[in-house]
Amino acid sequence: MNIHNALVVFQNKKIRRIWNNNEWYFSVVDVVEALTDSPSPRQYWGVLKRRENQLLTFCLQLKLPSADGKYYATDCANTKDMFRIIQSIPSPKAESFKQWLAQVGYERVEEIQNPELAQKRMKELYKQKGYSEDWIEKRVRGIAVRQELTDEWKKRGIKEEMEYAILTNEICKATFGKTIDEYKNFKDLKKENLRDHMDDLELIFTMLGEASTTKIARNRNTLGFPENKSAARKGGKIAGDARKKLELESGEKVVTPENYLVEPEVNKRKKLKGQNN
């Protein structure tokens, strides 16, 4: 898991956060939504800022991912300053959120001392969401493969978030024949994380494309965006060729419109096993 930029969940509400200057910073808009259930949390926060100008002094503008997959400057606050902001938001959830926020900060300290705890907590979160052990192991492995790739890109001169997004898109298109947006539309997803709605084979081929790209980048010592873009296409093509061969031999498509929006993955897995027995 990328512990420097990750989602956390409070009462089924996703809250974006980023590790900055050795502490967590949380998206203020996400916290507003979690506390108020407002259908327009950005507008709510805008009104609050105009009414209490001093609240802006508690915020930093940090880049966080949006629903479109791009990164935008977002008002963020650390744990201490978020407590002050919460005081200005009337909500019956305020006290429970403060307790949750303090616990999240404490867990991060624990994870620095013992990184295995971060992975353990992530697995438990996926289990609570209805994923099977088999799926979780592949998803966790995929996160590690992805982290290795992004670390490699960083070493090779990839700096801008847009460049990371383009390179990822190149791998996806070469692997599955679809851009990430096309893939999400195919699965009827909007804000959801695409990989959280992939089945076993989709996750495996995603890993193959990214691991192949990492290998090529290292062995060819790619530098800068153009060279790494070429490596991304080649890495994705390796996975794409393997996918096509499997589809030819099995008679079934790897990419499916299936998602886990309504029925949990673990239930779908049980049904599939029942059909095959």
The label of the residue with tokens 């959830």 reads 93
- Could you read off the pLDDT of 143-190 as tens digits, one per residue? 889 989 999 999 999 988 899 999 999 999 999 999 999 999 999 998
CATH number of the domain to which 10 belongs: 3.10.260
Q: Name the token pair of 226.
A: 């153009």
Same domain, 96 and 204: no
Structural domain including 197 reads 129-276
Same domain, 109 and 81: yes
Would you say 212 and 222 are in contact if contact means Cβ atoms under 8 Å apart?
A: no
Residue that is last in its domain, among 116, 148, 175:
116
Residue that is last in its domain, among 64, 86, 116:
116
The total number of structural domains that make up the chain = 2
Least confident residue range of 90-94, 131-135, 147-151: 90-94
Cβ atoms within 10 Å, residue 38: 15
Would you say 187 and 120 are in contact if contact means Cβ atoms under 8 Å apart?
A: no
* HSE value, Cβ hemisphere, 13 Å, CA-based, for 149: 28
- Look at residue 114 in the predicted model and tell me its pLDDT: 57
Instruction: Between 221 and 104, name the one with better pLDDT.
Output: 221
How many angstroms separate the CA atoms of 170 and 187, rounded?
Answer: 19
Query: Is residue 221 a part of any domain in this protein?
Result: yes
Query: Is residue 122 a part of any domain in this protein?
Result: no
Q: State percent of the chain over pLDDT 90.
A: 54
Same domain, 15 and 76: yes
- Look at residue 105 in the predicted model and tell me its pLDDT: 63
- Look at residue 1 in the predicted model and tell me its pLDDT: 37
Nearest 5°: phi and psi at 16? -75, 145
- Whether 206 shows a pLDDT value over 90: the answer reads yes
DSSP 108: H
- Whether 109 shows a pLDDT value over 60: the answer reads no
Would you say 47 and 134 are in contact if contact means Cβ atoms under 8 Å apart?
A: no
Same domain, 10 and 62: yes
- Look at residue 110 in the predicted model and tell me its pLDDT: 52
In sequence order, which residues have a C-beta less than 8 Å from that of residue 67 and are 6 or more positions away? Answer: 190, 191
- What pTM was computed for the model? 0.64
Query: Is residue 81 a part of any domain in this protein?
Result: yes
How many angstroms separate the CA atoms of 14 and 167, rounded?
Answer: 26
In sequence order, which residues have a C-beta less than 8 Å from that of residue 99 and are 6 or more positions away? Answer: none
Average pLDDT, the chain: 88
Q: Name the token pair of 157.
A: 């001169």
- Whether 248 shows a pLDDT value over 60: the answer reads yes
Would you say 31 and 45 are in contact if contact means Cβ atoms under 8 Å apart?
A: no
* HSE value, Cβ hemisphere, 13 Å, CA-based, for 145: 21
Residue that is last in its domain, among 116, 150, 168:
116
How many angstroms separate the CA atoms of 182 and 189, rounded?
Answer: 10
If phi > 0 it is left, if psi is from -120 to 50 it is alpha, else beta; for residue 274 that is alpha
Q: Name the token pair of 26.
A: 């949380």
**Which SS3 state, helix, strand or coil, does residue 120 take?**
helix
- Could you read off the pLDDT of 10-63 as tens digits, one per residue? 777 888 988 787 778 899 999 999 999 888 999 999 999 889 988 888 899 998
The label of the residue with tokens 């790494």 reads 228
- Whether 238 shows a pLDDT value over 90: the answer reads yes
